[in-house]
Amino acid sequence: MGFWDRLFGTSQPALPDIPFGRYTDAYKTDAQTQAWNRSIELFDLGKQLEAYQEFLTYLRDEQADNVHWKQDNDTLTFEFWQGSQRVTGVATQDKVTAESKVAQAEDLNVGFLRRLMEYNYSLKFCRFALDPDNNLIIRFDTAGTDGSPLKLLHALRELAIHADKQDDLLLDEFRSLRPVEKRLEAEIPVAEKEVKYRYLIEQIQAAFARLDRADPDPNQYPGGYAYLLLSLAFRLDYLLRPEGFLMDTLEKIYSIYFTKDDRSNQLKILALRKEFQKILDRPKEQIFHELYRTRSTFGINPPANHERIVSLIDGELPNMDWLLNQNHLELALAIPQYIVGNALFQHVPPRPDRDLLHLFYQITEPAFFRELGFPVYTDPNGLPNKRLVMQAIRQICENNRAECPRLRPDLSRLDFVSLPLFARSFLDMVRHLDLTKEQG
């Protein structure tokens, strides 16, 4: 069940089927957890094939329909999806193999061959290789006695994530490569792409205009502009859910700023701007090609507990004070936006936190959600609508009450005077949540 179903319930009018944020496999059901435990027990008893079936049950997301398998005598064949890539595998009592075809080489260009050979050194379980048909594949194999469910979990995760990441990047850079098979992706409506593309361009241009206004001077006060650009990258990644070059560029923006090197914050801001400029310079049709739906099996981000979200809020939110006092409201708002984006970009928060952080985006980006056909929570002046916001928060809490019975946010903390003050008070409310789970 998606966020909107949880928020509004099935009796409400149908809402657009548009996912947000990167896929996560962190929210396993009780049935999946039980399948994992059975898999471990069966493997320890030497019943590998039975253990692997339970392992695949653990991986399978019924809503995504992402994993399929069948057994024929002593052979188990399986396949699963990660983004636009299909991973196929064969398991017997003695051996497990899995591979994904990334691209087909029309000629053996030394550029991509050298890159992937070097890339292999960073892989722990898998390796890139060429098959007899010049298909560029990523492959894993292990002996059955050594193929524990835990090893398979780490190995197949590595294989799937790197296959999905590299196919778009290699095909975009090397013209001698072409797709091996029909891409396993679902087109989204052109109208949705138009909304997302327009939002992408307008948001980057607005950030550039704020930089060019130079009030305060970014050379003297780079901190606020770092929040502005990083929060933009996180927001675009979550709301647009891009693939390929666009996703890679947003990841690179994060990496550039947080890499420890000799560059000053001022120089890093210039470097971030150059990366955003590459997005502006990219042809519209190529951006459209990177907006599509996928099915996945493994999430990229690790789970985070509520204390990690609290730590992030405590570490960053006080930095709003000076900007608010100086009336730099756009830069002040960028700090809570950065906190929300960072939490969703790097981690998988507990479900109540994730639902509330998503609601934060819907409240602070009403035009984008309205154009996509979702309800919004602001008044005609763009300020949060108190009644609608409180109603949405209460519904989120009710939906998560069975798991977190002490989830009772202090709504009196919310400040509806302005958007920056609301954003700060909203995160202060989240910071004080009690997500203690039901025992037993």
pLDDT in tens, the chain (440 residues): 455 455 555 445 678 989 999 999 999 999 999 999 999 999 999 999 999 999 999 999 998 899 999 999 999 999 999 988 899 999 999 999 999 998 888 777 777 788 888 888 999 999 988 888 888 889 999 999 999 999 999 999 999 999 988 877 777 777 677 777 665 557 899 999 999 999 999 999 999 999 999 999 999 999 999 999 999 999 999 999 998 899 999 999 999 999 988 999 999 999 999 999 999 999 999 999 999 988 899 998 889 999 999 999 999 999 999 999 999 999 999 999 999 999 999 999 999 999 999 999 999 999 999 999 999 999 988 899 999 999 999 999 999 999 999 999 999 999 999 999 999 999 999 999 999 987 65
Work out the end-to-end distance of the chain between its first and last CA atoms, rounded to an integer number of angstroms.
24
Q: How many CB atoms lie within 10 A of CB 103?
A: 21
**Nearest partner of 137 among 177, 174, 110, judged by Cα:** 177
102 in helix, strand or coil? strand
DSSP label at residue 77:
E
**Nearest partner of 218 among 269, 277, 272, judged by Cα:** 269
Task: Give the CA angle between residues 193, 337, 435 to the nearest 5°.
Answer: 105
408 in helix, strand or coil? coil
Q: How many residues does the chain have?
A: 440
Q: Using CA of residue 314, residue 26, residue 185, residue 156, what is the dihedral sign?
A: positive
Residue 330: what pLDDT?
95
Q: Is the pTM of this model over 0.85?
A: yes
Q: Using CA of residue 330, residue 331, residue 332, residue 335, what is the dihedral sign?
A: positive
Phi, psi of 74 (to 5 degrees): -100, 20
User: How crowded is the C-beta side of 408, counted as CA atoms within 13 Å?
Assistant: 2
Residue 1: what pLDDT?
43
Q: What is the enclosing helix (H) or strand (E) of 277?
A: helix 265-281
In whole angstroms, give the CA distance from residue 423 to residue 78: 46
Sorted by sequence, the CB contacts under 8 Å of residue 129 that are 6+ apart come out as 136, 137, 138, 139
Taking every pair of C-alpha atoms in the chain, what is the biggest distance, in angstroms?
73
In whole angstroms, give the CA distance from residue 226 to residue 416: 26
**Nearest partner of 317 among 337, 290, 287, 297, judged by Cα:** 337
In whole angstroms, give the CA distance from residue 304 to residue 322: 29
Q: Where are the domains of the chain?
A: 28-178, 190-431
The amino acid sitting at 210 is: R
Sorted by sequence, the CB contacts under 8 Å of residue 191 that are 6+ apart come out as none
Assign domain 28-178 one CATH number from 3.30.1460.10, 3.40.30.10, 3.40.50.980, 3.20.20.70: 3.30.1460.10
